[in-house]
Structure 1
């Protein structure tokens, strides 16, 4: 139990500086996408969003059509 308390106090000594150094070193490891990849991925997301919206709209209209006689 004494070792756990010692480890906690050592973790707190680094503070913000240690945290931001860690963040900076992790950002150096990131492989950023190219402009072409960003455009392709954005178009895929937009197309998928439109397809989902159209599908939900179709389901909504179908339910309204089927439930209208009940109301």
Structure 2
């Protein structure tokens, strides 16, 4: 019986917390998603450049 009350209480608190969430509007969501994509691409390019530099450096040493 105690488990049922705990489970019910848990779901009530989850529902209460979901009501407190401020969901972003479409414009803000689009801007933030675009920013994530752009930053990911830039970091990918930087990592690729660093990888090539290190690869050539190691080949030069060997």
- Please give the range of the TM-score, normalised by the shorter of the 2 chains: 0.7 to 0.9
- Find the counterpart in structure 1 of residue 59 from structure 2: 68
Aligned length: 61
- Over aligned residues, Cα RMSD in angstroms? 1.6
- Stretches of structure 2 that go unaligned for 5 or more consecutive residues are none
* Offset from partner CA, 1:10-65 (integer Å, 9 cap, x none): 8x673211100000011111110001111100000000100110000010011111
Write out the 4+ residue segments of structure 1 that deviate beyond 6 Å after TM superposition: none
Structure 1 length-normalised TM? 0.77
